[in-house]
Amino acid sequence: MTSTIRTCLWFRDGRGREAAEFYCSLIPGSQVETVFVGDAGHGTIIDFSLGGVPYQILDAGPHFMLTEAVSISVETADQAETDRLWAALTADGGEESACGWLKDRYGVSWQIFPKRLTELTLRADKNVSAKAIAAMMKQKKIDIAAIEAAVRG
């Protein structure tokens, strides 16, 4: 069999299955693969694929806290997709952070990052990328038109 690395997110509150289904509803090419309900005290394990990338939620009590040190980065094709994901993931108790980062209602950190922003910040010449990064630093949700305007400056 092909080996894989599955990113495992620890959940504390019994909402792991709900979260996996929610994430799969947002990202095309996603599905819940298996749900394992252990004996009392051993939690629930949900394996799912997010856009073809293997993930797991281990919903097993208040031992560990999610932090921003590992996030899920989503490359978006256009502003409409950025807006749709940003709205869905910050709704119902999610929080906007800076520079395209957010924390969803379950405490999972995401980056909603337009493909075009990667081109402008990392692939462009130094002058363009400095302007793009400066504009990005002022934003929460990425507004790619505003960054393009700043680059044209």
DSSP bridge pairs for 49: 31, 54
From the number of C-beta atoms within 10 Å of its C-beta (0-12, 13-18, 19+), residue 22 rates as middle
Helix (H) or strand (E) holding 135: helix 126-137
Minimum CB distance to other proteins smaller for 18 or for 35: 35
| Positions that interact with other proteins (CB under 8 A) | 1-10, 27, 29, 36, 38-39, 42, 50-54, 56, 63-75, 111, 115, 122, 126, 129-130
**In whole angstroms, how close is the CB of 76 to other proteins at the nearest point?**
8
CB 32 within 8 A of CB 81: no
Q: How far is the CB of 122 from other proteins (least distance, A)?
A: 5
Closest to other proteins by CB, 137 or 145: 137
Closest CB 66 distance from other proteins, rounded Å: 4
Q: What amino acid is encoded at 118 in this protein?
A: T
Sign of the alpha-carbon dihedral angle for 140, 23, 31, 16 = positive
Residues 6+ apart with CB under 8 A from 49: 29, 30, 31, 33, 55
Residue whose CB is less far from other proteins, 124 or 148: 124
> How far apart are CB 143 and other proteins at their closest, in Å?
20
* Complex with other proteins: residue 9 or 90, whichever CB lies closer: 9
